[in-house]
Amino acid sequence: MTLRELIDTHEVAAGRWQAADDGHLLDPQSGAELPGHKLVWKMWSDSDPAWRPAWMATGEMLTGGNGHSPPAPLFPAAPPATEAPTPTDAQLAAVKGLGWRLNGEIAVNWDRPFFKSLDDLPFPLHNLLPLDKYRMPMIKGPYTFIVTSRGCPAGCKYCIKHVSYQNSVRLRSPEKLMEEMWLLYNLGIHHIHMYSDLFTVSREQVVQLCKLIIEQGLKITWTCNSRVDYVDEEMLTLMGRAGCTLISWGIESGNELILKKAHKGYKMEQAHKALGWAKKAGIKNWGYFIIGLPGETEETIKDTMAVSRALPLDIALFHVAAPYPGTPFFFEVVENGWFRSGTAWEEVDMDQGTVLDYENLKAEDLLYWQKRAFREWAFRPGPVWTMIKSMNTWAGFKSAVDIGLQTLGWVQG
């Protein structure tokens, strides 16, 4: 049996392990269970047994690995059959990348390879999306995403991307990226976010792409992410000339010891240099920070707060560390008993509070410092003026007001 044959005869639910808390396939309209269906979870965090409790209660099977890997695990759902055929154990054992039940236990087939050539993937059907509805603060008009690469070679111990892609890096060619960017431009999109685990992972790819944008006269603006140790001044200057308007940086901490323990791999002086070069090139800086990495204290948090105010940032976001299953951080939390008592799987999410309880910093303390760090960064003349300047259109004004009210409610709550 191939994975395609399996998908053709079973219902597929694509999602994260957090969303699999009850393992039921639901009718999205009524919330009722759909009878007579066998459930196959498509997961993105599958290279370690830590995810198993999230789906094993009622899920029949699980396909793992990269969603682009052949044969592709996601297909348009066929009309549901009244009774799905039951594959044999031998058939299931032959499906690469499948997790399944064998005599009441969980068996996992691990050898489905990554899809090596991203250039061979078809473009998304951008023309079918309501592109006029996508908006972001500080961006004029609609925008959308394109994928430039997969994977990151850095070794940050908290990052879930290494669970998904290990340390592999796969690039799309600059020529293929230009083809998709022109397609979007002709659909009326004049701003693109370069979606990747690390946009600047290949200096050669980025430089060639920027040169093609300039040479072909493609009049767009774009945003991306980066690490402070994967750029140089010449590269950032070229990116600015090619239309880059904003870079989001994973700064994480302002304390060198915390950075070292997290295996971040850069020195704080590199952050000051990189963001300074970007600002000089006319590129806005978006900084991400993490409160509560191993070794954190109130003093190290204050170091992070001080660095966030010292760096030339236009936007800053502060998250509380999340020990995602399969990461070295997760196993460190388990080994040291840092999970808060009663933690449920779906709660391990950096956007949904925290599940950490350190001896010196309880969950409530981490949330307090998260809000305080943002409050002390945001409520200053510079950030306020940046937000005001983003209100240059009616859509921008409405977006800024909505975000501002939500943020005030969160900070005060």
Question: Domain boundary residue among 65, 88, 108?
Answer: 108
Taking Cα atoms as reference points, which of 321, 319, 310, 320 lies closest to residue 377? 310
Which pLDDT score, from 0 to 100, does residue 412 have? 52
CA atoms 203, 192, 77, 64: torsion sign: positive
Q: Is the CB of residue 285 less than 8 Å from the CB of residue 311?
A: yes
How confident is the model over 127-173, as pLDDT tens digits? Answer: 998 888 877 766 777 889 999 999 999 989 999 887 777 778 999 99
Q: What angle do CA 261, 265, 268 make, to 5 degrees?
A: 90
SS (H, E, C) 96-141: CCEEEEECCEEEECCCCCCCCCHHHCCCCCHHHCCHHHCCCCCCCC
Q: Which domain holds residue 205?
A: 118-412
DSSP secondary structure string for all residues of 215-264: HHT---EEEEEE-TTS--HHHHHHHHHTTEEEEEEEEE-S-HHHHHHTT-
| Residue 173: predicted pLDDT | 98
Q: What's the pLDDT score for residue 67?
A: 52
124 and 104, same domain (yes or no): no
Phi, psi of 248 (to 5 degrees): -95, 125
Residue 373 lies in a domain: yes
Helices 174-186 and 203-216, axial angle in degrees (round to 10): 40
Residue 135 shares a structural domain with residue 176: yes
Q: What is the pLDDT of residue 96?
A: 78
CATH of the domain at 292: 3.80.30.20
148 and 79 inside one domain: no
pLDDT, residue 314, reads 93
Say if residues 52 and 45 touch (Cβ distance below 8 Å): no
What is the total count of domains within the chain?
Answer: 2
Residue 168, pLDDT score: 81
Distance (Å, whole) CA 252 – CA 261: 12
| CA gap 349, 23 in Å, rounded | 18
Whether residue 113 is contained in a domain is answered as no
Does residue 58 share a domain with residue 203? no
Distance CA 378, CA 386 (A): 10
Same domain, 66 and 163: no
Whether 220 and 86 map to the same domain: the answer is no
Please check whether residues 19 and 168 belong to one and the same domain: no
Give yes or no: residues 125 and 44 share one domain. Answer: no
Among 90, 108, 126, the domain-final residue is 108
Residue 105 has φ and ψ, to the nearest 5°, of: -105, 170
Q: Do 126 and 104 fall into the same domain?
A: no
* pLDDT value of position 336: 96
State the pLDDT at residue 116: 79
Q: Is position 356 within any domain? A: yes
Under-50 pLDDT residues of the chain: 1, 6-15, 17, 20-39, 41-59, 70-78, 81, 405, 410
Domain match, 217 and 269 both? yes
